[in-house]
Amino acid sequence: MSKEKAPLPPGSNFIRGIIERDLTANKYAEKQWAGSPGNAKHHQTAPVDPAKIRTRFPPEPNGYLHIGHAKSIFLNFGLAQDYHGICHLRFDDTNPEKESQEYVNSITEMVQWLGFNWENASENNLYFASNYFDEMYQAAELLIQNDYAYVDSQTADEMRENRGTLTEPGKDSPFRTRTVEENLTLFREMRDGKHPDGRHILRAKINMASPNFNLRDPAIYRIRRAHHHHTGDKWCIYPMYTFAHPIEDALERITHSLCTLEFEDQRPFYDWLMKKLVETGMLSQPVPKQTEFARLNLTYVVLSKRKLIQLVEEKHVSGWDDPRLPTLAGARRRGYTPAGFKLFTDRIGVSKADSWIEYLIFEDCMREVLNLDAERRIAVLDPIKLVIDNYEDGHSEDCFAPNHPLKEELGKRTVQLSKELWIEREDFMEEPAPKYFRLFPGNMVRLRYGYVVECTGCEKDADGNVTVVHCNYLPDTKSGTDGANSVKVKGNIHWVSAAHAYEAEVRLYDRLFKEAHPGEGDRDFLQDINPNSVQTITVQLESSLQSVNPGDCFQFERHGYFVADRIDSVKGKPVFNRTVTLRDAWQK
């Protein structure tokens, strides 16, 4: 009927393309899965894997997760969900010197916070690379036995010298021709602690003249006497990422191993290893395939581990969960939500092109979800007194404010109106700017959910600063009454009754960096830090805010979204963090 093209599937991208092609080709139709990771023999008699695809999120537990990881988390877990697959959470803990349980804990907590889990009725897909050290060791011996690996005894410096350069091939190590027996003996001695750290190293035997450095006999096992947070002191040799990661994927029967672009050059080795281990019978087809995508870059934000550590250690921020940091721990404290992250990752897509996402896209995603979720409350952030001169002294009355304009079912709450109110300083101008339609002498505005008032003037101190604004109210114009619309006004300002409001602390956060690309060129990124990235103020809040729980999010009307800080709030005295402002066409 329609001449229109069929709508494209939402979020179409090259990775989905690959998965869909693999699925229609029935590539995994006979892939077996024994319910737990293992080698070919382990899966040999198992039933066909009920998971159509398997992906994995493989963080190294050596730091805190940040927004960039969120992209990967939503990609891997999201793809698994969409294609009836399963996503594993796997800690890539092959370097004990940098890793610790503390990081493991924070990472699992954040992945769960984003809404993902790795357990279902029959499986718990939380894995550790260190659980596969036995298999990795066996794989290394298999390689040696087939003359695909050898023990090199050059020093690190010698290895570097002999690796060649971009334009010159490397030179074979003098130890490259050791016999299988010699290599096996030496490697076992390495395992048994007979050699000091760094004395020998196991290398894959591929091609020292390859134009790809990763194929110039890459190191795959090194001696390191280090206590491992999981395996303790069982091992004094540890596998390198290059070697370990493909094996981890294969043992877990991962179908699509997604990683960032910098691992692209590693793929030939990944495939080489798979081929050799299938050849030796340790693994069986189908083996996992690595696919690379571009990592996230966000303007006004740094995501490099090194820079984040520096910001924390040099105390430019309060800690790993500082609300100004792009860490997930910081984001949660800031009031950014999992739904917002989901929207964000959907919106930016995934491709192989290096790109910089504008920070406002991220903020906008948060606004979009918060607009739907957050109840409205009233806060006067920069208070100035407004006195309704014709209102009865000492009297007060109920006004009814909807908790959410888009969700009537959330009901209304009462707020008290009285003669003396707090309003925003910026809602009054003695000399109004062009197109300003708030309070100025002679102008009428509505006190939101209350009456229309007419401004009559103001008082000023000796320096000319406005101290009190005066007005009269129009008694028949109360919101919710028949006369509410008898007077049409353009301005609508919020307020709290001075007698009923309470004083509180609010933190106004702004971007941590003032430059779109911190540290661009030769600049030190620390020089680009925004000196006004946080401002702590004392405000007047409606009383209902006093009893909220840490972590609760609200829209403070006409200001933005705020969250009760999960750390610094105390019972009956929440501290609020500004998550993001409302859009403001007037300020432009």
Partner RNA sequence: UGGGGAGUCGCCAAGUUGGUUAAGGCUCAGGGUUUUGAUCCCUGCAUGCGAAGGUUCGAAUCCUUCCUCCUCAGCCA
Q: In this chain, which of 2, 25, 121, 262 binds RNA, going by CB under 7 A?
A: 262
The verdict on whether 425 is a catalytic residue reads: no
User: Residue 167: CB partners within 8 Å, gap ≥ 6?
Assistant: none
Which residue in the list 305, 307, 385, 514 is annotated as catalytic? 305
Q: How far is the CB of 348 from RNA (least distance, A)?
A: 4
Cis bond upstream, residue 61 (ω within 30) = no
Cβ 209 to RNA, closest distance in Å?
Answer: 10
Pair of tokens at residue 57: 């999120």
Catalytic residue, from 163, 171, 224, 295: name it. 295
Residue 217 or 322 having the CB closest to RNA: 217
| Cα separation, 427 vs 431, whole angstroms | 12
Q: State which of residues 82, 123, 264, 397 lies at the interface with RNA (CB under 7 A).
A: 264
Least CB distance to RNA at residue 7 (A): 7
Q: How far apart are CA 541 and CA 502, in angstroms?
A: 5
d(CA 506, CA 516): 26
Of 39 and 130, the one with the shorter C-beta distance to RNA is 130
Q: Which of 16, 27, 60, 189 is catalytic?
A: 60
The closest alpha carbon to 274, from 242, 299, 300, belongs to 242
Helix (H, G, I), strand (E, B) or coil at 452: strand
Amino acid at 448: R
**Cα separation of 411 and 74, whole Å?**
34
Paired with 232 in beta bridges are: 228
Shortest approach of RNA to residue 53 CB, angstroms?
A: 18
List 182, 271, 368, 420, residue binding RNA (CB under 7 A): 368
Q: In angstroms, rounded to a whole number, what is the distance separating the alpha carbons of residues 440 and 458?
A: 9
**305 catalytic per annotation:** yes
What is the spatial distance between Cα 408 and Cα 413, in angstroms, rounded to a whole number? 12
Closer Cβ to RNA, 62 or 472, answer by number: 62
Q: Which of 174, 193, 405, 475 binds RNA (CB under 7 A)?
A: 405
Residue with smaller CB distance to RNA, 168 or 314: 168
Asked whether the CA dihedral 50, 54, 57, 60 is positive or negative, the reply is: positive
Residue 151 vs 317, nearer CB to RNA? 151
Tell which positions 288-307 bind RNA, by CB under 7 A: 294
Distance of CA 92 to the CA centre of its chain: 19
Which of these ranges, 4-12, 270-278, 318-326, 525-533, lies near RNA under the rule CB under 7 A?
4-12
Is residue 364 close enough to count as binding RNA by CB under 7 A?
yes
Residue type, 46: A
160 binding RNA? (CB under 7 A): yes
Beta strand ranges found along 382-443 (DSSP E): 383-388, 396-402, 412-418, 420-424
Taking CB under 7 A as the binding criterion, the range among 68-76, 136-144, 330-338, 435-443 that sits at the site for RNA is 435-443
Binding mask 41-60 for RNA (x = CB under 7 A): -------------------x
Measured CA to CA, the distance from residue 240 to residue 249 in angstroms comes to 14
Interaction of residue 557 with RNA, rule CB under 7 A: yes
Give the separation between CA 546 and CA 320, rounded to whole angstroms: 28
* Strands 383-388 vs 420-424: parallel, antiparallel or unpaired: antiparallel
The closest alpha carbon to 396, from 376, 416, 424, belongs to 416
- For residue 448, state whether it binds RNA (rule: CB under 7 A): yes
Alpha-carbon gap, residue 363 to 78, rounded angstroms: 22
Nearer to RNA, 67 or 223 (CB): 223
Stretch (H or E) spanning 365: helix 359-373
Residues 163-222 that bind RNA (CB under 7 A): 163, 165-167, 197-199, 201, 211-214, 218-219, 222
Applying CB under 7 A, among 371, 396, 472, 530 the residue interacting with RNA is 371
Task: Enumerate residues 488-527 that contact RNA by CB under 7 A.
Answer: 491-492
User: Looking at beta carbons only, is 185 or 403 nearer to RNA?
Assistant: 403
CB of 268: closest distance to RNA in angstroms?
8
Q: Is 361 in the site for RNA (CB under 7 A)?
A: yes
Helices (H), 146-285: 156-161, 180-191, 241-251, 267-279
Contact between 430 and RNA by CB under 7 A: the answer reads no
Question: Counting contacts by CB under 7 A, is residue 438 touching RNA?
Answer: yes
354 touches RNA (CB under 7 A): yes
Amino acid at residue number 462: A
Choose, by CB under 7 A, the member of 350, 384, 529, 548 that binds RNA: 350
CA 6 to chain centre: 34
395 binds RNA (CB under 7 A): no
- Counting residues that bind RNA (by CB under 7 A) gives 91
Sheet of strand 237-239: strand arrangement: 149-152, 201-204, 219-223, 237-239
| The only residue of 48, 156, 309, 499 in contact with RNA, by rule CB under 7 A | 156
| Binding residue (CB under 7 A) for RNA from 177, 179, 351, 532 | 351
Stretch that binds RNA, among 65-73, 131-139, 155-163, 537-545 (CB under 7 A): 155-163
Q: Enumerate the active-site residues.
A: 60, 295, 305
